[in-house]
Amino acid sequence: MKVLLADDHWAARAGIKLLLEEAHERAVFVETESFEETLRQAARHDDLRLVVCDLIMPGLGALGDLKRLLNQVTGVPVALYSMVEDRNDVLTAIDLGVTGFIPKTMHGDEVKEALARIFAQEVYLPPAGLRSLPRRSFDTKGYGTVDAAPRRAMDSLTGRQREVLACLARGAPNGAIARELGLSENTVRIHISAILRALELKNRTQAALLAAAYLQGAGAAPSEPTQAPERVAAGAAGGNTKRR
């Protein structure tokens, strides 16, 4: 596993290396301290499995510059690990194609979990960040006000899809959603794909952000899971009790 670490602070790189080495003993690291060097190394190493990049480093100006990096590492998950927590910047980066955002204020275990999810190609935002979004969210074309069009789309979701969406709003991964609702992970993926099509969104993070806006009172909240706890436990424990 080869990882590109792009951060002009050695301590930040050292911390990420330590966390990744705990999960991947044979991890190999390419380290850079400027954006231009990051681009050069990304072009030089065609076997990268993960990129971890700060939002503030020499040579990185506008957020649009990230697209140059993303174009060089197509198919490789890219995690932003930064002190910058401006919501607009984070949403713009996700929209550009970044796989996830990890605040440097997160604790080590949380960072380790986030890196694992991003490495698994799961779009990631910290759950607290999802809940703290302002009413500004998505229209059907991108970022904007929650208006009549997405309201109608939300209303078109089935009850099960709304339960899955409520889980996404909390930042739950597929495995946790499956256990909570007593479904298989494949069924969860099918529901998420259907939700994205219905809401005309690009990825699960956009769906989670839209749901979070509704949960804050911008519109009707998605249904919280109503399955009884004992049935959830049974569905998680037994292969024959999963429901679709």
Which of 80-94, 184-198, 229-243 has the lowest average pLDDT?
A: 229-243
pLDDT at 240 over 70: no
Give tens-digit pLDDT for 166-177.
888 777 778 888
CB-CB contact of 104 with 83 (8 Å): yes
Fold that domain 137-237 belongs to in CATH: Arc Repressor Mutant, subunit A (1.10.10)
Give tens-digit pLDDT for 2-44.
999 999 999 999 999 999 998 888 899 999 999 999 999 999 9
C-alpha to C-alpha distance for 35 and 211, rounded to whole angstroms: 34
Higher pLDDT, 135 or 127: 127
pLDDT at 243 over 60: no
pLDDT at 131 over 60: no
Higher pLDDT, 157 or 224: 157
What contacts 180, CB < 8 A, 6 or more positions away? 167, 172, 225, 227, 232
Strand partners of residue 30: 4
pLDDT at 226 over 60: no
Reference 123, options 17, 200, 202; nearest CA is 202
CB-CB contact of 129 with 170 (8 Å): no
State the Cα torsion 195-199-203-208 to the nearest 10°.
-80
Of the CA atoms within 13 Å of residue 6, those in its CB half-sphere come to 27
Concatenating the DSSP letter of every residue in 107-174 gives: -HHHHHHHHHHHHTT--B--HHHHHT--S-EEETTEEE---HHHHHHHHTS-HHHHHHHHHHHTT--H
Phi and psi angles of residue 231, each rounded to the nearest 5 degrees, phi first: -75, -35
Count Cβ atoms below 10 Å from residue 40 Cβ, excluding itself.
13
> How far is C-alpha 151 from the chain's CA centre?
23
**pLDDT for position 216:** 52
Domain segments of the chain as ranges = 2-124, 137-237
Structure token pair of residue 242: 């999963």
Per CATH, is 2-124 categorized as 3.40.50.2300? Answer: yes
Q: How far is CA 229 from CA 49, 143, 180, 182, in A?
A: 38, 36, 8, 10
CB-CB contact of 124 with 209 (8 Å): no
